[in-house]
Amino acid sequence: MTRSAVHPTPASPTPPGGHLLDVRDLHIEFRTGEGVAKVINGVSYHLDPGETLAVLGESGSGKSVTAQAIMGILDTPPAVIRSGQILYQGRDLLAQPEEQRRQVRGREIAMIFQDALSALNPVFGVGWQIGETLRQREGMSRADARRRAIELMDLVKIPGAAGRIGDYPHQFSGGMRQRVMIAMALAMNPKVLIADEPTTALDVTVQAQIMDLLADLRRDLDMAMILITHDLGVVAGVADRIAVMYAGRIVEHADVRSLYRTPAHPYTKGLLESIPRLDVRGQALSTIKGLPPNLMRIPSGCPFHPRCPYAQQVCVDVVPHDLVLGDGRTSACHFAQEVRDDSAR
């Protein structure tokens, strides 16, 4: 993961006046028997061709739900999309009928999931599952789909791909299984790849291999990538920009370098300080006190205030707006400037 964060500007054009993918003020809630959980509360982020956006946050912060809303694979009910837009190449996906959205899945935007063992169907061979997309969506013949499946498995560097095409998911190691999943997502050359915690279920060494593979593939196939993770270490080498999520909102948004150097939101700052460092000896690991909020009863004002060392009365009363800090950076904190200045010190 020593790859440079700067990638060559790709050739594919940004649609006039907009981003490749643009999520605008998305609100999603889950209606369950116990009440209404406000899972996404005004998320906005965008993705340009060829770039990698990392969406960072604890479990329950809404990063996966946003991704599933983009894919259109949220279970509704219990999920309800209250408001917002998801523009892909300028067209609002949320306004499209299901059949049109289905056409986008896999072909335009593809997704890979966290646990490949459960995300792959246990009773079908991996070649069959990779080829299924091609047979069903592109009308490919069985033999062609099989040939292409082998190519894709070669592409994701599965050794002896041709010999393993008939194997079942459980016969692969965790890392190889995740590669199968990636091959499946790449089958129709999508323009956007959403990777939802692609390395969480893997060993550390395998994690690095998969991240490298994803970065290589993103560059070689000229895709844009949304990398969802809770692991700051995973992000650094691969992402161009980072959006940090907390309680269903983007609390900080910045390019990787600035965010790591001078976090401008207390939550980001807390996250960075909780990474164990090899160069500082004998220091207690700092943590963010408290627990993530219950989404059925999100705290008033800034949802992070009960856990925030900077919290004042204003944080309890007023929901902070995104404060623009220049260079495309934003921070949803009343004291963003102070936090950044503290970080710079």
Partner 1 sequence: MLRFILRRLLQMVLAFFGTTLIVYALMFAGQGDPIQALAEERPVTAAQRAYLTEKYHLDATGVGGFFYRYFDYISNLLRGDLGQSLTGRQIGDILAAAWPVTVKLALIAMVVTVVFGVTAGVIAGIRRASVFDNSTLVLTLLVLGIPTIVLAPLAQYFLGVRWQLFPPTAGADPDLYALLLPGIVLGSLSLATALRLTRTSVAENLRADYVRTARSKGLVKRRIVGVHVLRNSLIPVITFLGVELGNLMSGAIITEGVFNIPGVGFNLFRGIRTEDGPLVVGIVSVLVVVYLVSNLVVDVLYAVLDPRIRYE
**CB of 99 vs partner 1, minimal distance in Å:** 9
Q: Is 106 in the site for partner 1 (CB under 8 A)?
A: yes
Q: Is residue 66 at the binding interface for partner 1, with CB under 8 A as the rule?
A: no
Q: State which of residues 21, 39, 93, 119 lies at the interface with partner 1 (CB under 8 A).
A: 119
Residue 111, interface with partner 1 (CB under 8 A)? yes
Spatial CA neighbour of 181 closest among 224, 102, 230, 119: 119
Strand partners, 244: 56, 252
Least Å from the CB of residue 211 to partner 1:
21
Instruction: Report the amino acid identity of residue 236.
Output: A
- Could you give the 3-state DSSP secondary structure of residue 151? helix
Q: Are residues 331 and 71 in contact, defined by beta-carbon separation less than 8 angstroms?
A: no
Q: Select from 35-43, 114-122, 147-155, 268-276 the region that touches partner 1 (CB under 8 A).
A: 114-122
> Could you say which of 113, 260, 267, 335 contacts partner 1 (CB under 8 A)?
113
CB of 30 to partner 1, least distance (A): 15
Closest contact distance (angstroms) between CB of 70 and partner 1 is: 10
Q: Which of residues 153-182 bind partner 1 (CB under 8 A)?
A: 168, 170, 181
Choice from 80, 81, 132, 147 touching partner 1 (CB under 8 A): 132
CB neighbourhood size of 191 (10 A):
21
Question: Position of tokens 């948004």?
Answer: 253
Q: Could you say whether residue 224 binds partner 1 (CB under 8 A)?
A: no
Using DSSP bridges, classify how beta strands 249-255 and 329-331 pair: parallel, antiparallel or unpaired. Answer: antiparallel
Give yes or no for residue 133 binding partner 1 (CB under 8 A): yes
Of the candidate residues 59, 103, 286, 337, the single one contacting partner 1 (CB under 8 A) = 103
Alpha-carbon gap, residue 293 to 19, rounded angstroms: 32
- Smallest distance from the beta carbon of 168 to partner 1, in angstroms? 4
Q: How far apart are CA 326 and CA 256, in angstroms?
A: 14
Residue 81 or residue 272: which is nearer to partner 1 going by CB?
Answer: 81
What are 300-305's contacts with CB under 8 Å, separation 24+? 302/332, 302/333, 302/334, 303/246, 303/247, 303/249, 304/246, 304/247, 304/251, 304/265, 304/266, 304/267
Interface ranges with partner 1 (CB under 8 A): 68, 71, 73, 102-107, 110-111, 113, 115, 118-124, 132-133, 136-137, 168, 170, 181, 184-185, 187
